[in-house]
Structure 1
Amino acid sequence: MNKTQKKPLNGSLPTEVQETKNKSINSNYITKIDELIEQGLSVYLMQPKTSVPFKGSRGHLDATNDINELKQLIEAHGDDSNVGISIVDTGLVVLDIDRHGSKNGFQALLDLGIKFNLDEEAVEITPNAGAHVFFKIPDGVDVNNLNHILATGLELLTNHVTVSPSSKIVDKEVAFYRHYGLKITEANTMPKWLIDLSTKDRKPNKPMNRAMYSVSQRWEMVLNGFAEGERNNQAVSVSGYLLRINVDPNAAFDILKLINSRSVTPLPDREIFTTFKSAYEREKQRREKENR
């Protein structure tokens, strides 16, 4: 968690929000960000109608609950910026039910025999008519030991997520994220079926980027790029592998970018940077523990 995420809520928030409104910033927009901060969440901004951070920003790594900082960002970038929240160290995860192209996470749930009522959850309906469902992590479950890819169209998010009032272009028209049900921080605890899905075939305390792919599979990625639906997991795995075998970090990052460029659908450059930095920090911490 970065320093801004640890700052307490500003005592003069109502005054600052009113000042922002007086500068013609959309009241619904600032009210929504205010609500997120009131829940103790940290916010970051992205380019309008995209998931791409503004130039010079590190996305969710720069998330903050400092209203003064956010007010300055809003004034600089405008109230049509997309909004994301960091869920790192919040005790929350998000079930991403995707509906895009051939993917249909709702159908995947039915195929697995799983039914649950979205009306009883903390939900964000996405522009593609999918859903982001927030859940609290129960005691005894380690977020670092959870699977991310659960099934076709089903993914568990543990780092960050885009929320309303954000928007995206769908079929050449603007479509918005919409929130329903419980507040994010009042989300229900992960149900047993989701815990089972996210821990299936995983050993306790097994790092996410360890032994997910064989050495030969990783080198196949070098030739063919990352596979659709596995891009994030594969990027994490390759990053960790290269760093563990002592490839120079700069060279390892160049290799990661090369693999990504060979993918059918490359990840955004900023996401590749964030993924590699996270892997670098984990490897650094691992080596520090070994040397103690």
Structure 2
Amino acid sequence: MNETQKKPIEQKFGDRVQETTNKYINSNCIIKSHDLIQQGYKVYLLAQGTNAPYKGSKGHLDATADVNVLTDMFIKYGANSNIGISLKDTNLVVLDIDRHTPHKNGLRSLKQAGINANFDSEVFETTPRQGIHVFYRVPDGLDIKTFKHDLMDGVELITDKITVAPSVKSLGGGSIGYQHFGSNFSDANIMPQWLIDLATNVPTSGHGKQYKQARYTVQERWEMVLNGFTEGQRNMQAVSLSGYLLRIEVDPNVAYQIIQKINSESDMPLPDKEINTLFRSVYNKERQRAKRGIA
């Protein structure tokens, strides 16, 4: 979008979003959110410099395609709020590749699995912590609800919501922004076959999803308590920490509350329903382990 295109959009918002001095608020996030609504996406706001919902808001559940409703949100929370889009009913998924820790690099995981992925021709965004969000369209005939989320170490498939550029994150005393590359999200390419294979390879037992428990050190688990679950590893970390708490005989109700609190304070919390399903699966597994006398 060039400068001549930006001005009318900014003025349209400026009719309602004004500072007390009656000067128009100039916010790239306001301009971009309006553009996203015009493209057909539902937008929601996040606390400035974070991926967390504002206190008292419902996060992605507040996502709207109504310009007036969104404008009221900016008036309430501030023009420099971060923005996200709901992926529900968009036929879009996001491949989240984590690269911000030395020992967990999604690109390296893909390469070690024999997948030589090239994202140069894809619609993607870089994240403030050097990660990559690659946007794909789901082929006809595939049910997003059945997709596996944790694909491998540092590689996650996101199907519910996503923070987008030009949002920023406060890091190291400064702010680093998400950067968009390629055309609009609606022009994203179809999921490649290697990604379809990873996303649909979900082992099941009965009617529930079975989670493979990742191995983390005790120190890494307590770092989760302090820092929250990490993008690209959310499910695996929640499973690992749940199992750890239950094995050291923390009361299951207390353990569940701990997992819920850590998840809620993470940069990108998992849906409550998914946390509940995940914890229940681990709890049942640990009960069976205890019955068999396995340490």
C-alpha distance in 1 between matches for 2:270 and 2:157? 20
- Aligned partner of 2:210 in structure 1 is 211
Q: CA deviation at 1:96?
A: 0.2
Q: 1:277 to 1:56 in 2, by over 3 A?
A: farther
AA at the equivalent of 2:235: N
Q: Deviations over 1:21-64 (max 9, x none)?
A: 76522253222111111111111101111111112111111111
C-alpha distance in 2 between matches for 1:79 and 1:36? 16
Summarize the alignment of residues 1-292 of structure 1 with structure 2, pairs less than 5 Å apart.
16-20=12-16, 24-101=24-101, 102-202=103-203, 209-212=208-211, 231-232=234-235, 256-260=256-260, 266-269=262-265, 274-276=271-273
Q: 1:46 to 1:109 in 2, by over 3 A?
A: same
AA at the equivalent of 2:15: E
Q: CA deviation at 1:145?
A: 1.2
Native 8 Å contact 2:63 2:85 kept in 1: yes
C-alpha distance in 2 between matches for 1:97 and 1:167? 18
AA at the equivalent of 1:19: D
Native 8 Å contact 1:58 1:274 kept in 2: no
Q: CA deviation at 1:196?
A: 0.8
C-alpha distance in 1 between matches for 2:253 and 2:65? 31
C-alpha distance in 2 between matches for 1:269 and 1:164? 22
TM-score, normalised to structure 2's length?
A: 0.70
Q: CA deviation at 1:255?
A: 5.5
AA at the equivalent of 2:107: F
- Aligned partner of 2:218 in structure 1 is none
Over the matched positions of the two proteins, sequence identity in percent amounts to: 40
C-alpha distance in 1 between matches for 2:122 and 2:62? 28
Q: CA deviation at 1:19?
A: 1.6
AA at the equivalent of 2:140: D
Native 8 Å contact 1:147 1:156 kept in 2: yes
State the SS of the aligned residue for 1:99. Answer: coil
Q: CA deviation at 1:14?
A: 8.4
Q: Deviations over 1:183-225 (max 9, x none)?
A: 111111100000011112436x986x533369xxxxxxxxx99
AA at the equivalent of 2:196: I
Q: CA deviation at 1:274?
A: 4.0
Q: CA deviation at 1:260?
A: 4.5
Q: 1:16 to 1:55 in 2, by over 3 A?
A: same
Native 8 Å contact 1:235 1:275 kept in 2: no
C-alpha distance in 2 between matches for 1:14 and 1:173? 26
Q: 1:17 to 1:143 in 2, by over 3 A?
A: same
C-alpha distance in 2 between matches for 1:253 and 1:93? 33
Q: 1:122 to 1:273 in 2, by over 3 A?
A: closer
Q: 1:277 to 1:201 in 2, by over 3 A?
A: closer
C-alpha RMSD of matched pairs (Å)? 3.6
Aligned residue-pair number: 245
Q: Deviations over 1:125-164 (max 9, x none)?
A: 1011211111011112111111101111100001001001
State the SS of the aligned residue for 1:161. Answer: strand
Native 8 Å contact 2:260 2:275 kept in 1: no
Q: 1:272 to 1:152 in 2, by over 3 A?
A: closer
Q: Deviations over 1:246-266 (max 9, x none)?
A: xxxxxx9876223445xxxx2
Runs of 5+ consecutive residues of structure 1 not aligned to the other structure:
1-12, 215-223, 240-251, 281-292
C-alpha distance in 1 between matches for 2:36 and 2:61? 17
TM-score, normalised to structure 1's length?
A: 0.71
State the SS of the aligned residue for 1:155. Answer: strand
